[in-house]
Amino acid sequence: MHDLWSSASYEAHLLSLPFALAPAAMLIVIAYTIVMRGSTSLRGWLLAHCLALLPYATVMMLSPSIRSEAVAAKLFQVAAAFIPMAAAAGTGFQLALVRKHRKYRWLIWFGVANAAIWVVVSSTTGAAVSGVQYMRGFWYAVAGPWAWLALLHTMLLSIGGFLALTYAAVRGRPTLERRQQRLILLANFVTYAGLIDVGLAYGIGVFPLGWLLSGIGSLLVVRALVVEDLLRVRAVDTSAPLLVAHFAAAVLLGWVVLAMLGEGSPWWLVTIALLLVFGAVRASVATIGLVNRGGRAGEGPLERLLEQLVTRARTMVDAGEIAQLAIDITQLAIGVRPHVLLATETDWGWTTETGDRLADDRAPDPFLISWLAEQRGALFSADLDAVPPDLRELVTTLFERHDAIALVPIGSVDELIGLVIVPSSARRLRGRPLAFLERTAERLAEALLHARMAKRAATRASLAREVELAATVQGELLPGKGPHVHGDITVIGSWQPATRCAGDFWCVYPLGDGRVLVAIGDVTGHGVASAMVTAAAIGACDVFVRRSGAKLQLTELTAALDIAVRRVGGGELAMTCFAAILDPTAREIRFVSCGHTAPYLCRPTDKLVELHALVGRGNPLGSGRPHRPQGAPASAAGR
């Protein structure tokens, strides 16, 4: 038996050249799938499908150049063994394209397991291919006793994926995704039409067409990959090409070094030389990459547009305006006009870039917020493998509600500020456009945070001005500093608020006949609200004193204050109050207390000061409870 790898078994023939169409097209698909980053499931099944088809395409290319019948028979046995595996992988690819691969993964892997059995059986026996026949310049397979079963098995493994893909391509909405599905459906029909060559194995027909149909189908797949962005490619995976470049350069230089060392060199010297060669190649490629990146940094139009976004956003404080600016610059830079969803600060709600409130069924689910806040790159609708299983349904729903092909979170640390929505009408989003979009999301997050801080600072400054004004007004309403002399009575008061605005006050009024009214109040809380109630109480007290004059009654005064506090405080704020009428002629003090701390009457004696508490048990004013001030006259010995 001739050796498969012996050069005597092959002789180059021009007829092999047209047969090279199919393997060349498949190798293009395989190389593109390997070096590009995109949907993991689509890449994996497409790669498996093409690798399973490649043996048949390669054997057909070598067929005119094979000189040994035994070699040709063995190669056709191996090539035919992988046809059912190509059908099983093709079904996985088709179901992944319509996003059904997770639901029917049991069916896919069942088909792969069955196809694996055929790989072993067909490649080691003559069950599918019993031999070869020479047909007008090339070899072709002769059907074995179980070839019909292998064909039937291949068709059964394919039918599920074809039905799902056909349904989606015919019944789906007119989007880029449906256009991709239709193109792949056409490519698959053309490729699988190559099974017509099975007739040649049974002596029906004169020339094989499967190689041509496989090549055309592969070229259609190439078009879908490059033009229609079938794999939802995000960037070029430079690690694989660089590794190949390193290896090729190291082999070339290693061959030169070994030639210089000669055949008699010791093994350890050869090993060291090869290691040094590979290290030198690695260092050279890395240096060239650093120099290249440094020379290109910040010189392109995309970088200038990003700088324009940062510069113009610094002067803005409205989140919607900043989002619209980012949208306009993105469209100008990469030709894609996204939408922006903004998270509100006060609740779980969301708005659009125009400020319109987003319906709850279109907003991101609260369970997604923390996970999205941790993401720093684009998330594609066809590549959800990185999404936790319990969140995939929520993410899928979010994509569908917005008819989106990609989402880019706008986040800062662990906070989700917004989302950039890329519509499905966008034909391409990969490489530099994708990198620009992700950097735009980062700059947008910084601008939105800056706008938030600027708005908060403006709010605080405005509040500080309001507090300052309230404090000034409150200070003007109170009695001035120094003693207030009214006949035989001198009143000295001190007011020191705990905060800039407070709810404490005091006032003094002459009532005639030498009598003086002194009132002290304390509104619950601090700040502007308490100061407003205090101002209302002082105003009510002023008006009541002017109206009543010498006929003023303390119970009527507290009733008027209760009404004022109730109206201004809205039942939320209450005020304790102590009011007293000092009568030097009658040498007595009449007072009422509405929940206020009891003051003391001080009487000097020969040796000590006698203290007498003026106790009253009335309710605070404006509290909503019945107003029952309590008080009593107290005699005073002396002034």
Q: What is the pLDDT of residues 15-74, one digit of tens each?
A: 777 778 888 888 888 887 877 766 778 888 888 998 998 898 888 888 888 888 888 888
Q: Domains of the chain by range and CATH?
A: 7-233 (1.20.1070.10), 240-296 (no CATH), 301-455 (3.30.450.40), 479-635 (3.60.40.10)
Q: Which of 145-159, 333-347, 403-417, 603-617 has the lowest mean pLDDT?
A: 603-617
For position 170, what pLDDT does the model report? 85
For position 295, what pLDDT does the model report? 45
Per-residue pLDDT of 306-315, as tens digits, reads: 888 888 888 8
The answer, yes or no, to whether residue 200 has pLDDT greater than 50, is yes
Indicate the helix (H) or strand (E) that contains 474: helix 431-477
CA–CA separation, 354 and 352 (whole Å): 5
The answer, yes or no, to whether residue 298 has pLDDT greater than 60, is no
| Averaged pLDDT score across all residues of the chain | 80
For position 271, what pLDDT does the model report? 78
For position 499, what pLDDT does the model report? 66
Q: Which pLDDT band holds residue 452 (cuts at 50, 70, 90)?
A: confident
Of 627, 565, 575, the closest CA to residue 596 belongs to: 575
The answer, yes or no, to whether residue 329 has pLDDT greater than 80, is yes
Q: Which pLDDT band holds residue 238 (cuts at 50, 70, 90)?
A: low
Q: Which pLDDT band holds residue 503 (cuts at 50, 70, 90)?
A: confident
CB 46 within 8 A of CB 33: yes
pTM over 0.75: no
C-alpha torsion 164→166→170→174, nearest 10? 70
Which range, 96-100, 186-190, 215-219, is most confident?
Answer: 186-190
CB 194 within 8 A of CB 210: yes
For position 580, what pLDDT does the model report? 92
Per-residue pLDDT of 337-396, as tens digits, reads: 899 998 887 777 888 888 888 888 888 888 888 888 888 788 888 777 778 888 888 888
The three-state secondary structure class of 229 is coil
For position 578, what pLDDT does the model report? 92
Q: Which of 244-258, 288-302, 306-320, 426-440 has the lowest mean pLDDT?
A: 288-302
CA–CA separation, 409 and 44 (whole Å): 27
Of residues 42 and 589, which shows the higher confidence score? 589
Of residues 236 and 475, which shows the higher confidence score? 475
CA–CA separation, 309 and 94 (whole Å): 41
